[in-house]
Every structure is written in C-alpha cells, then in structure tokens.
Amino acid sequence: MSSEQFQAAHDSIYITGRLLLQYLQEIQSKRLAKGNDTKCLQSIEEDITKALYALKEHNYQLAVISPTKTGKSTFLNAIIGADILATEAAACTVCRTDIRHIDVGQVPRFLEYREGKRQPVVLAEGDGAEIHQIFLERTQYIRTHNNPDHTIRFEIEYPIEAISTLSSLAGFTLIDTPGVANGNWEYHYSTELKQITLESLRKCHAILFILDYTSSTDLISDLLRDVMENQKNILAEKTENIYFILNKADKTIDVNTGNNDFIKKIELELAGFGLSNQMIYPASSKKGLLAKLIQGDTAANSHTKEFVKLFLGEYLEENEDGEVRVPQPIEIASKALKDSGITTIQETIIQNLTKNYGWNLISDVLAKLDKAAKAIEDSLNTELKVWGMEIEAFKNQVKEYREKSESVTKKIDLVKKFSEGKKEKLITKLTSEINIFAENAKNEIQKEIERLAHLNTEIGNTTTDLKVTQSNVNREITKIPFLGESSIFVINERKATFVEAIKRAVVNLFNSNTDNPHSQVYKLRVATREDAQNIRRAVNEFFGSQIQSWWIDTHDQLIRQGTRSREELVQEIQEQAQQISNEITTSIEEALKIELNINCIQFPSFEFLGIDTEIQSQQEVYARLEKETITESDRTASTNLYQVDIPFEDKGDLLEIDLYQIAAQIKLKIDEQVSINQEIFKQVIDRQVTADFRSAEQQIKYYIERFKDEFNYLVSEREKPEADTEEILVNLQAQKKQLNEYLSELNSIRESLNSWKPVLTVV
C-alpha cells in the first residue's frame, strides 16, 4: 500500500465516519425533540467519536539512533526541511529530543521537560532561527554545567516537510536520541543510549541507525553492536522497520546506486546479527538539507553560500564549445535533493510505515465504525420488528430478556475470576525475575570486589603500580535458571572490569604489615585525599553504569515478557466475553424472531495502552517523590541510582577504604531499587489487566443496557395513543436506507483495505 493509497483510505474512513456520526446525532435530535431518551445511542456515539479522534491524532514515532558526530542532527534537519536542530560540534544531543509535526501556520515551540515536573518549560516559540539558537545555547549549558535543572527531554513543535502533504500522518514525531560522548557524561550517555535504543525497538514504528561513511573506525559502533548482538530475535522481527543510513556520502559514493565496498561490508556485518538482506541507504544530509531550504525559498545567505561552496561544482554545465556555465542554486536544487538520497529514504520510510502500522490503525478504526453502524442497524431492525408486534406480547419478551440478561451477566464474574488468577501469576513471575536480577548483580559486584582484593595480596609494603592481567578480567556470561527455563537476566561479556576502573583512577596503592592479612586485603590504602576521591568516583561510575546497564536489559525483557503475557490474556478474555455476548444476542433473536449482528468484543490497538507508557508514568511519580527527599548534588545522571557515599579512614600517613563496606552499600542500593521496581511493575500489571477485563465487561454491559433502554423507549412509544404506526415505519425505513449506504461504503473500504493487508513475516 503506497502512502497515497493510505491517505485515500484514511480520508474515506474519516469522511464516512463523520457522516455516520452526523446521521446518528440527527436521530438523537429527533428523539430528544419528542421528549424521548437517547441513552441507548449515547455509547455508540462515544465509540464513533473515539475512533475518529484516534484516526486523526495517532502518534507515529520514528527514532533516530547513532553515536556522536555521524551527522544525525543534520540528517533530521534534512527530513524536517529546516535548520532547526543545532549541528555544531559543541551541541551534541544531550537528551532525547522529540520533533512533533504541526501544520504550516501553527506557531512552532521549543519545550523542555524536567525531572519531577508535570508541565514543560517553554524556552522559545515562533521563529525557527530563534529556536535553533536557544536549542544550541541550552544544549551547551546542560553539557558544561552537568544538567543542573535535571532536564530529561526536549520537544520541538515544527512542520516536518517530509510528511507535509499527508494529513493522515498528522501525529508524526521524530525522536532524536543522545549519542555516545566522551567526558564527564560518558557513563550516562552509554546507558542512556542503550535505554533509548531498546525502548525505541519496543515502542517506535520505525528506527533509523545513522552510520558515518567518513569514520576511520568501525562503521557500526561498539554500543550499537552490543545492542544488536543481544537483540537478534527482536531485530529480525522488525527488519522492515529498521533502516541503516550511511551518512556523509557526499562525493565518493553514488547515493542512488549503493554499489560500494563499504555498503557490502556493512551488509555482511548486519547479516551476522540476523539482519539478512538489510538495505543500506547512502545519504548526503547536508546536500539534502541545503537543497530543501533553497527549493523552499527559506535558505539564509549562509545556507546558499555553503551550498555553492560544497556542491555547486558537481553541477557545472559545459556546452559544445567547452564553455562552462555555472547554474543558479535554485536551478539545481531539485536534482541536488534527489542526488542526496534524502527523498528516497523518506519516501521508503513513509511507505513502509503506512503499509504496516498505518494499515493496522485504519483497520481497527474501520472495525470500530463498522461495529457502531451495525449497532444502529440492530436498533432500527428492532424498532421495525416491535412496531409490528402486539404490545402485550412485546412486554412479555422484555420481561424475559431482563431475566435472561441478569443470569448471563453473572457469567462475567467467572471471567473476572479467571483474569485475576492470571494477573497474580504474571505479577509473581515478573517480581521473581527482578529478584533474580538483584541476586545476579550482587554476585557480580562481589566477584569484582574479590578480584581487586586478590590483586591487593600481590601489593607489598611499598608503593606498587596496579597491574591488570587477563586473569583479572571477567569474561563470563552468567545465567540463572527460573522455573525450569533460562532467566531473562543475563550479564554479558564486558570490555572493562573494576580492576581496570581503579587502575585508571589511581596508580599507586599501599598495604601494611598485619597479623590478619585476609581481612586487610579488602582494605585499599592511598596516600592522598585526591586519590581517595578518585577511587570513590571510579566506584560509582563503574558499578553505577554496570548495574544500570544490566537493569536496562532486564527491564527490556520484563516489559516484553509482560506485554506478551498480557496480549495472550486479553485474547482469552476476549474469547470468553464474546461467548457471553453471543448468548445475549441469541436470546434477543429467539424472543423477537429477528436477526442481529454479532456484538464484537474489541480491543483496538489505539485503545491498548502499552506497559511501557504506564511504567514511565509511574516512574515519573517516583521521581517527583524522590526529588523532594534528595539533595541537588545527588542527581546528575541515571547511573546515580546506585551511587553510594564511600567513607575513608585516616590512618596517619595513609587513607583507608573498606571494600566490604563498598559492596554492602551498593547491595543496599540495589535492594532499594528492586523494591521500587517491583512495586511499579505490580501496580502497572494490576491496573492494566484490570482495565482489560473492565473493557470487555463494559462492552457486554453496554450491549445489555442498550437493548434495555431501547425496549423501554419502544414500550413508551407504543403506549402513546397519538403514535402513527404507518408514519413511524416509513421514517424507520428511510433511516435504514440511508444507513445501508454507510454500511455499503464501510464494506467497500474493508474490501479495498484487505487487498493491501501486510504479509506477516515468519522469523
């Protein structure tokens, strides 16, 4: 399904839905004008309204991930079609930045979200150049001052040129992720990028990995390699939604052919991660951005000069006489944009986005509208049938229906009991896995402490250089069994150890004569307070980042496991609830000798709030509470969740640090975080599974109540002496004729949509 077909289907569904809503509201108005109740139609109106809102406002997310200095921000600017994100070297992305599409004519804004705050701070609005400058200044300030305001993400509201002609993608959002940087934030960035990458794989509709063609190092960075090695199955499932962009391919590669040894090298490497036949898209983001600005008549003089300097030479024209003509930038902007590879990339992404996730959305919306239309049809058919019945016979049928519905309703309690049991098992399993994470993490910490203590036995009474040997380096992968299977907690091979971290922090350690050498090997002695502070920093940076990294992996698997289990449970709830609903339908059909539509129990994707979103919301609550109880110096990065205050004892000429005490404090921090995360998962699973059951329960109860209200309305109407049966039947037939047109249109859209149904990839 092309983006044009998606837009056409989207428009058809929206127009038909609006007409159906207007039609229903007219029926309600006529009833109200006669002093009648419209309760039986209100739930139908609400369903239509929700479906149309989801169709117009659905948030499509595209995440862009890379190390620093790959030209990621320039690439994003090229997609946006504006020089809005700061691309200077000093403005490396410091936190997640969401670029949310708005229509041309709306006022652009630059927002900042801070830890513990519900509402964002508006930093700039209106002028794109001003947003660019303030974005640059704010980024540099956060970096140089170590994030004093605890900024967690930015949001820029700005028109995105790539989807400007597709109103069906009005909720489109680009996500600019932080890269891996050097300096004081190195540990924070590595865990932050890993967390965002895994979150993007779970939540985003498309993911772009930006690689630097001009890089002298490996094209796939160590961090991206680590993520891909540990997520092979997930990556294989999302092949169509993952893109690799080879950026800065300005002159040495033809972006339109891709025939290059570098590309072949990357393809081979990706195949090793389970990404076979993965397309690599070369791009010259700078050329694409400048060409878009010139083509859209929004280029500043500096942009035009840069385009002339970098790219105009590629488009010089020579006539038969050998005379060279220099074209104007506007003359070649269109060709330069095509040559940049940007249009190919954005068209491919949008087409795949609409083909997969877009199709699922409009299919769910269409199903919701179809259910609403058929509910109206059932109402009209019931009215037509009842106006042809004897009033007393109908009253008897109403009485029987009430008795039947009450007995059937009791069966819902059995579904509730079933879902509650499944919910408790899921909570127990997930909280047990968190305990396993804690035990594994503590064991790994103890191993690192023991390794350093063992090395300490080799240190004599004099100053000794700290040596690191292969035997000091842990290369194990630890797995703990859980319920007969491998645990979801896995500690992967590391490139650094605690020994190496201490070595970088302080070269000289001391030991002393003692009658109890075993206990003394767990004491580190240094000559200066500066060395002691360096060890303290090394401990917190090393263990903080390692534990956080392990938790990110565990958290990712917990969410995936919880999501799968919840989806399976929802399907079981849906099947059981559908049986109950069908019983009600059958009882009405038998009583009135009428044929009704199936009341489909639905869980549309746009109403299915993911575990991720709920957990994030709950974590923000804890963050607000935590902010009230800790000092400013305690919070500089996510690794500080496991930061400990390491005391050192003055031993005269030396300062002594107790490794036992370090291990105990870190383990206590782990227990604190485990308790918090277990409570978060428990609350989220409890709320969501309960909400899933209630959704099914409400759909059954609304169905029952709709017919009760319909029957009450009809009894009231039939008992009115002035009621003109013939006139009423004529009006009902006219309403049904009009409704049939909407049903026919919805059916036609469904047939067309099914012909574009995406094929599921079997992994």
pTM, two decimals, is 0.85
Lowest mean pLDDT among 132-141, 346-355, 448-457, 654-663: 448-457
* Of the candidates 761, 7, 750, 752, the residue with the CA atom closest to the CA atom of residue 364: 750
Indicate the domain borders of the chain: 60-348, 414-550+610-694
Q: What is the pLDDT of residue 463?
A: 43
Q: What is the pLDDT of residue 80?
A: 97
Pair type for strands 523-526 and 655-658: antiparallel
Question: What span, in angstroms and rounded, lies between the C-alpha atoms of 284 and 337?
Answer: 9
Residue 659 is encoded by which pair of tokens?
């490794």
Residue 479 is encoded by which pair of tokens?
């797995």
Residue 414 has pLDDT above 50, yes or no: yes
What are the pLDDT digits (tens) for 701-754? 999 999 999 999 999 888 888 888 999 999 999 999 999 999 999 999 999 999
Is 646 in contact with 539 (CB distance < 8 Å)?
yes
Question: What span, in angstroms and rounded, lies between the C-alpha atoms of 239 and 230?
Answer: 15
Greatest mean pLDDT range, 171-175, 230-234, 615-619: 171-175
What are the pLDDT digits (tens) for 446-488? 988 888 887 766 544 444 444 433 334 333 333 333 323 334 4
Greatest mean pLDDT range, 81-95, 249-263, 393-407: 393-407
What are the pLDDT digits (tens) for 351-390? 999 988 999 999 999 999 999 999 999 999 999 999 999 9
Q: Indicate the residue type of 396.
A: N
Q: What is the pLDDT of residue 430?
A: 95
Residue 466 is encoded by which pair of tokens?
């700290």
Cβ count within 10 A of residue 545: 23
Which of the four CATH numbers 3.40.50.300, 3.30.70.580, 1.10.10.10, 2.60.120.10 does domain 60-348 have?
Answer: 3.40.50.300
What are the pLDDT digits (tens) for 141-184? 998 888 899 898 999 999 999 999 999 999 999 999 886 554 44
What are the pLDDT digits (tens) for 498-553? 887 787 777 666 654 444 455 567 788 888 888 888 888 888 888 888 898 889 88
Is 672 in contact with 622 (CB distance < 8 Å)?
no
C-alpha distances in Å from residue 121, one per residue of 277, 450, 600, 620, 626: 44, 47, 44, 16, 20
Question: What span, in angstroms and rounded, lies between the C-alpha atoms of 181 and 187?
Answer: 9
Q: Mean of the per-residue pLDDT values for the chain?
A: 84
Lowest mean pLDDT among 47-56, 81-90, 312-321, 396-405: 81-90
Q: What is the pLDDT of residue 529?
A: 86
Q: What is the pLDDT of residue 25?
A: 96
Measured in degrees and rounded to the nearest 5, phi and psi for residue 29 equal -60, -40
Q: What is the pLDDT of residue 489?
A: 43
* Secondary-structure breakdown of the chain: helix, strand, coil percentages, each rounded to the nearest 5: 65, 10, 25
Q: What is the pLDDT of residue 671?
A: 94
Please give the share of the chain, as a percent, with pLDDT higher than 70: 83
SS3 label, residue 320: coil
Residue 350 is encoded by which pair of tokens?
């949008």
Question: What span, in angstroms and rounded, lies between the C-alpha atoms of 706 and 382?
Answer: 12
Greatest mean pLDDT range, 300-309, 456-465, 630-639: 300-309
Q: What is the pLDDT of residue 254?
A: 56
Q: What is the pLDDT of residue 720?
A: 87
* Tokens 């010089």, located at residue: 316
Q: What is the pLDDT of residue 520?
A: 67
